[in-house]
C-alpha cells in the first residue's frame, strides 16, 4: 500500500470529518492472537488511502465542492448514517445550510422527492443537535 497516499488521506479525513470521528473508525491497534489485524481495520485503511487520499486528493474540485457532491450522492442513495456524519462535517468544508438545501433540491429533481425529504430530515437532526 502507498503509505504517502494513506497519510495524506488520513490528514484530509481528520481535517474534514474530525479527529475523534476518524479515531473511532479505526479499531484498537492491538492485533488479536492470530496475528490478523482487528476486523475492519484493513477496510478503514483502504477507505482512507483510496477515498480520502486518492479521490478526495484529486486536484480540480475544492473540498467544499467535493463535499457537496458527496452529500448529494449520500442523500440520493438514502445513506442516512453516512449523510449524518457528512452533514456534521460541513462546518469544516464551508458547506452552509443554504448550500445543502440547494444540493437537496437537486436530489429531489434527479433522485426523487422521498430521497430529498429524508436528506432534509437527517440534516435537520444534525443541525438541531449542534444547537444544543
Secondary structure of residue 30 in the 3-state scheme: coil
pLDDT at 84: 97
Q: CA 102 from chain center: how many Å?
A: 18
Does residue 33 form part of some domain? no
Q: Are residues 74 and 107 both part of a single domain?
A: yes
| Residue 31 in domain | no
Please report whether residue 81 resides in a domain.
yes
Same domain, 3 and 54: yes
Question: What is the average pLDDT value for the chain, to the nearest integer?
Answer: 91
Q: How do residues 43-70 score in pLDDT, each as one tens digit? A: 999 999 999 999 999 989 999 999 999 9
Based on the fold, state whether residues 49 and 2 are members of the same structural domain: yes
Q: Is residue 32 part of a domain?
A: no
Domain range spanning residue 11? 1-26+39-60
Instruction: Give the rounded percent of residues in the chain with a pLDDT score beyond 90.
Output: 77
Total structural domains in the chain? Answer: 2
Give the CATH number of the domain where residue 71 resides: 1.20.1290.10
Distance CA 19, CA 40 (A): 18
Same domain membership, residue 50 and residue 68? no
The gap from C-alpha 72 to its chain's centroid, in whole angstroms, comes to 11
Amino acid at each position: 500500500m502507498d503509505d504517502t497516499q494513506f497519510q495524506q488521506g488520513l490528514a484530509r479525513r481528520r481535517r474534514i470529518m474530525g479527529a475523534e470521528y476518524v479515531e473511532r473508525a479505526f479499531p484498537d491497534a492491538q492485533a488479536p492472537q492470530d496475528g490478523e489485524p482487528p476486523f475492519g481495520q484493513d477496510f478503514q485503511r483502504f477507505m482512507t488511502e483510496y477515498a480520502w487520499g486518492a479521490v478526495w486528493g484529486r486536484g480540480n474540485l475544492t473540498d467544499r465542492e467535493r463535499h457537496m457532491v458527496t452529500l448529494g450522492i449520500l442523500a440520493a442513495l438514502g445513506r442516512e448514517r453516512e449523510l449524518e456524519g457528512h452533514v456534521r462535517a460541513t462546518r469544516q468544508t464551508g458547506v452552509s445550510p443554504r448550500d445543502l438545501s440547494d444540493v437537496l433540491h437537486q436530489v429531489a429533481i434527479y433522485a426523487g422527492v422521498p430521497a430529498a425529504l429524508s436528506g432534509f430530515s437527517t440534516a435537520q437532526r444534525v443541525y438541531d443537535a449542534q444547537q444544543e
